[in-house]
Amino acid sequence: GPTVSSAELKKVRLREIEHIQQQIAVLARYAGIDLRSDGRTAEGYQTGAQQLQTSVDNITAEFGDDLIAGVQPRFDARKIRRFDSCWNWARQDAYEWIQQTIAVCTTGVASDVDVSDEARLQQLQNRADVQLVQMLAGTAKILGASNNDALQPAIQLTQALHDACKDSLDQEPVYREFSKPMQPETHVQSTGEVKYTEKPRPSERSWAEYIQHMSCGDLDNTPPLMHLREQTESGQWTYSDMYSGAYFSGLNSIATQGISFAGKTALVTGCGRGSIGAEIVSSLLAGGAKVLATTSSYSRATTLFFENLYRTHGSRGSELVVVPFNQGSVQDIENLVSHVYGKSGSELNWNLDYVFPFAAVSDIGSTLTNLGSRSELAQRVILTNVLRLLGRIKAAKESAGRSTRPALV
């Protein structure tokens, strides 16, 4: 039978498609439809994407991966955690103290009333409220009705706690340092290994004694090693007995009587576990301050750490607010300060009294000849953005009409 060439069939089919396309083009022109609009849009997107990629490549080459990754914002108001229930921990701590004493009493082991634990007693007094005093009074009454002589230490302890907490109701919470002054000790082994330790100072058993010794000169009429100076009319800086005396008097007052931060608010950045910032947060909370603590490593473990920090050191009127924050990010600085001074229901509406910008990025091993992206990030976090943060706080204070109450940095 007859045969048909496949090549000829293909040509016929192509001519049909071409004819159809021509018909579509004619109809589209008649209807006012631009068949190339989508194609031109796609080409524009492709050109824009290429330009953006070129910009990203140039930025990455100029600033490096460390700086780019280190300035990414982390602030998120939805992740803020607030801790302010010190009254709850006060009841638990009081019960634990009393129960520990009862356990000792019932085992037959002799024990004195343990009110000598000044740190524990001060912590309880800092948290005391009317309900805690009532609870202690009721507990003392219940224990006294037992007619069990073995419980006398526990009864005395409960009554002593009641009296101490009752007396503290009209007093502001205070921070006092109860640790012992330490001195460094370094040993160099025969192998060359260096061992560093700290041990209590033998002649200074309290901070009051340490401060007293620090305020004395080595010889007669010799100013102490640490002292304050004042500028004379001639421009010379000379030892000031008045200013130095006031300084050491203030230190002694803090060591013996404590210092209160009641009614104060503070911002502390860079306060992770084991840091100086975390110790500052602890002291501020013990003194009754409201503290906003930032963390760049927000996680459940981090929030539990801050929860325990507040549980241990929180006092009456204190509050701890924890928020994710990257001090390397300008966006985070803007959002953080806006949240502090904002007046909406979810914002803090605080006026900062203290700012502790301790956030930092390590830059180990960098020298003049190999400064890189990490070095720029470190300088941005500890210098440039600290100035930005302070400037933003200043502007917020002025905007809120609070320029007469500056923040101490």
Segment-wise mean pLDDT, segments of 10 residues, the chain, 409 residues = 76 85 84 81 85 86 88 94 93 92 74 65 94 95 86 89 94 93 92 92 90 82 88 92 93 94 96 92 96 94 95 96 96 96 90 95 86 90 95 93 86
Q: 389, 357 in Cβ contact below 8 A?
A: yes
Q: Cα(24)–Cα(342) distance, rounded to whole angstroms?
A: 60
Q: Cα(328)–Cα(382) distance, rounded to whole angstroms?
A: 8
Q: Are strands 229-231 and 237-239 parallel, antiparallel or unpaired?
A: antiparallel
Among the listed residues 361, 399, 347, the one whose alpha carbon sits nearest the alpha carbon of residue 70: 361
Which residues, 6 or more positions from 337, have their beta carbon under 8 angstroms from its beta carbon?
A: 389, 392, 393, 396
Task: Count the residues in the chain.
Answer: 409
**CB burial of residue 227 (10 Å; 0-12, 13-18, 19+):** middle
Task: Pull the structure tokens for residue 371.
Answer: 């400064």
- Residue for token pair 């192509």: 14
Secondary element (H or E) of residue 357: strand 354-357
Q: 101, 114 in Cβ contact below 8 A?
A: yes
pLDDT at 115: 47
